[in-house]
Amino acid sequence: MMVAARLAAGIAEGKYPVGSRMPSEGALCEQFNASRFTIREAIKRLQSLGLVDTRQGTGTEVLSRQPTGGRFVYSFDSVQDFRHSVGQSRLINITGKKVIANQGMADQMRCPVRTPLFRLEATRVLLTRAGRAGKPVALSTVLLPAAYAGILDELPHYDQTISDLLEQRYGVQTASIEQIIEPCMFSAKDAGKLGVKPGSLGLRFQRTYLDPGGEVFEYAISLQAGNEARLSMTIRANISR
């Protein structure tokens, strides 16, 4: 929901300071030209992130500029909402190298075999309220065209998505993101990086990023501990009136 994303961004930027009251429901309806139902759903999303608390008769109080829950929360129904949710985290322990696409990589990137690619591996951590790296929540493996290898030096200081950085640096626009979520089991090596028990269950997020021309410019795998991920989305019906 774009309203929730914009309100969360306003909280993070200090527009709605911690300890203050959010504007009234009516004022938010007018500000975003939205219905009361839409505003209530947006506030519920902010509550699920630990950003605000609503009490009858006292309004909605801002509790934190950053999500306070221990989970890595996805709550979106657009590319913009997705970028905002991932923007609450950062990549660390980043390594990258140029590779030549084998058949598996070619299938993932939908490119010819032996196409030059760039492979990234990193750990994604939540950001603390002070903006520092906090708890590890995911292990990421990313494939990009080799021409985009220049982003490697910028990633340690970048708090948005890789696709967002590609757009800023190379002008690549995200038209759509194809996502598949599957259960997985952590090896001893991967479990140690996330601080979970070997053999414990997790979630495997597979994402394919496409530009407006339908070309794949990023393929990403994210492994997350099962108790550290939550996916929230809204499914709407297209009802003719």
Which residues make Cβ contacts (< 8 Å) with residue 142, sequence separation at least 6?
119, 120, 121, 122, 162, 218, 219, 220, 221
What's the whole-number average pLDDT of the chain?
A: 83
pLDDT at 84: 47
Least confident interval from 6-15, 104-113, 186-195 = 6-15
- Separation between Cα atoms, residue 172 and residue 24, nearest integer Å: 39
Residue 200 has pLDDT above 50, yes or no: yes
Q: Are 179 and 230 in contact (CB under 8 A)?
A: no
pLDDT at 208: 94
The pLDDT tens digits for 156-175 are 888 778 998 999 999 999 88
Q: What are phi and psi of 209, to 5 degrees?
A: -100, 130
Residue 34 has pLDDT above 70, yes or no: yes
**Number of C-beta neighbours around residue 4 at 10 A:** 27
- Residue 231: band (very low, low, confident or very high) from pLDDT cuts 50, 70, 90: low
Least confident interval from 97-111, 130-144, 198-212 = 130-144
Give the mean model confidence (pLDDT) for residues 82-89. 55
Residue 47 has pLDDT above 90, yes or no: no
- Residue 5: band (very low, low, confident or very high) from pLDDT cuts 50, 70, 90: confident
Residue 143 has pLDDT above 90, yes or no: yes
Domains, the chain, in order of start with CATH, read: 2-62 (1.10.10.10), 72-232 (3.40.1410.10)
CB under 8 A, 24+ apart: contacts of 40-46 = 41/1, 41/3, 41/4, 41/234, 42/1, 42/3, 42/4, 42/7, 43/4, 43/7, 45/1, 45/4, 45/8, 45/75, 45/232, 46/4, 46/7, 46/8, 46/11
Give the mean model confidence (pLDDT) for residues 80-90. 57
- Of 9-13, 115-119, 127-131, 184-188, which has the strongest mean pLDDT? 115-119
